[in-house]
Amino acid sequence: MAAEQHLVPFLPHCHQHLISAILAMEPSHCLISHAKECGRGSITEQVDFYAPYLKSFLKKLITEIELDHGYVLDQLYELYAQYMTSFKDGSLGKRDARICKRISFLFPDGCSENRSCSDSRVLVFPLQCSLNMLEGDTGCSIWPSSLFLSELILSHPELFSNKSCFEIGSGVGLVGLCLAHVKASKVILSDGDLSTLANMKLNLELNNLNVETDMPQGNQDSSMVKCMHLPWESASESELQDIMPDIVLGADVIYDPLCLPHLVRLLTILLNRMEPHNGPSLNGRHENDEHGYREDASDRSNGRCKSIYNDGSNGLAKEAPVAYIACVIRNIETFNFFLSLGDQAKLDIVDLTDSLKPVKLIRYMQSYNEADVRLLRITCTRTITG
């Protein structure tokens, strides 16, 4: 199995949430909130704490108790003093400092009987992440949209199982781990930063996945994931067409106006199915085609847009590639610029935030606000023909 899995049938929800929050290294105030809910709940000694994180938690815990005029155990003061005197924070300033967080997905009772949910009660992914997101090491941090996409994949495995999936800007690799868990037929992860790519490969290996640089055609091994170095600005059209995914994913990739033209170019190529042709092409249009493009048929039932294309081999209509992009809108002008570029590139962008929702599998993570994330479904409204 691609991740640590545990059955905890007799553990109260509040205790389970507290332990999961500690494993995910949630901020101290979140832990205090869970601890208050638990009352006298205890924490297993098997948890491998990160010293500065535990020191911060102890300080917050002692402060809260003192503010409530409660009695602080001497052992808490002694343990806090021990961390104060023995730990030096010099490593925190290093750009490449790493910490292992464990992200737990907690499936609701009875979820295993629901076809839209995974068959595991608790699914845990250990991930090596950055300590210094604000120091330029953003690719090795866990972003809200990647948590959202991960919940979406685990909540609706039928959308991704047996599909060839490709992620743009994969970061720590959490989305890829979830795709492998629901048995996507092929999982290809990419990033433009080499240090992020190296960290991603390590995370895949931590979760018992085989990392390949050249994945065989027709590979069906769900424990095998391909990682590739893909700077958006220099990715060639032929390189992208060789990927030919059924589904493209991206989490928090709409952030830098300078990068958006390259992102839209990538999406346009990945979402187009190139059909065989004999004549040369020019700027994406074929000289032997009067119009260069043909309109796709569309099925907009249930608020979802499904593009249909003909692959030219047997005359049968097939579902066209689709992209699921999750994003937090931090700058509305940047987001509108992306929509404008998408419209110019003949991309059909539909907001599915209200119609396709994931099951809330990480309720314990109070630092993550699902309401901040929007889900976009992107298809190509015109398909290149030959």
pLDDT digits (tens, 9 = 90+) for 290-312: 333 333 333 433 333 344 444 44
Query: How does residue 138 score in pLDDT terms, banded at 50, 70 and 90?
Result: low
Domains of the chain: total? 1
Q: Helical H runs in the chain? A: 13-23, 28-38, 51-67, 74-86, 144-155, 174-181, 194-206, 237-241, 260-270, 332-344
Most confident of 46-50, 59-63, 114-118: 59-63
Residue 281: inside a domain, yes or no?
A: yes
Q: Using an 8 Å Cβ cutoff, are 250 and 168 in contact? A: yes
Percent of the chain with pLDDT over 90: 42
For residues 213-234, average pLDDT: 72
Residue 336: inside a domain, yes or no?
A: yes
Q: Using an 8 Å Cβ cutoff, are 70 and 41 in contact? A: no
**Rounded Cα gap, residues 310 and 287, in angstroms:** 20
For residues 131-143, average pLDDT: 64
pLDDT given for residue 59 in this prediction: 75
User: Using CB atoms within 10 A of its CB, is residue 92 exposed (0-12), middle (13-18) or buried (19+)?
Assistant: exposed
pLDDT given for residue 63 in this prediction: 81
Residue 334: inside a domain, yes or no?
A: yes
pLDDT(48) > 60? no
pLDDT given for residue 304 in this prediction: 38
Of 9-18, 78-87, 191-200, 273-282, the one with minimum mean pLDDT is 273-282
Residue 49: inside a domain, yes or no?
A: no
**Rounded Cα gap, residues 101 and 200, in angstroms:** 14
Q: Using an 8 Å Cβ cutoff, are 184 and 222 in contact? A: yes
Query: How does residue 41 score in pLDDT terms, banded at 50, 70 and 90?
Result: very low
Percent of the chain with pLDDT over 70: 60
Residue 43: inside a domain, yes or no?
A: no
pLDDT(89) > 80? no
144: left (phi over 0), alpha (psi -120 to 50) or beta: alpha
User: Using CB atoms within 10 A of its CB, is residue 211 exposed (0-12), middle (13-18) or buried (19+)?
Assistant: middle
Tokens matching residue 48: 């491998």
Per DSSP, the three-state class of 186 is strand
Residue 10: inside a domain, yes or no?
A: no
pLDDT(205) > 60? yes
Name which of 122, 130, 115 is nearest 161 in CA terms.
115
How long a stretch of residues is the chain?
Answer: 386
Of 100-114, 130-144, 270-284, 309-323, the one with minimum mean pLDDT is 270-284
For residues 223-244, average pLDDT: 89
**Rounded Cα gap, residues 51 and 83, in angstroms:** 7
Average pLDDT value over all residues in the chain = 75
Residue 117: inside a domain, yes or no?
A: no
DSSP 334-359: HHHHHHHHHHHTTEEEEE-TTTS---
pLDDT given for residue 14 in this prediction: 67
Q: Find the CATH number of the domain harbouring 371.
A: 3.40.50.150
Query: How does residue 137 score in pLDDT terms, banded at 50, 70 and 90?
Result: low
Tokens matching residue 334: 């940047």
pLDDT given for residue 86 in this prediction: 54
pLDDT given for residue 12 in this prediction: 56
Amino acid identity, position 6: H
pLDDT given for residue 285 in this prediction: 39
Which structural domain, as residue segments, surrounds residue 163? 138-384
pLDDT(286) > 50? no
pLDDT(366) > 90? no
Cα-only R_g, the chain: 23
Residue 122: inside a domain, yes or no?
A: no
More confident residue, 119 or 279: 119
Of 62-76, 197-211, 246-260, 306-320, the one with minimum mean pLDDT is 306-320
pLDDT(66) > 80? no
State how far the alpha carbon of 128 is from the alpha carbons of 89, 135, 139, 144, 241, in Å. 19, 17, 11, 16, 31
pLDDT given for residue 68 in this prediction: 75
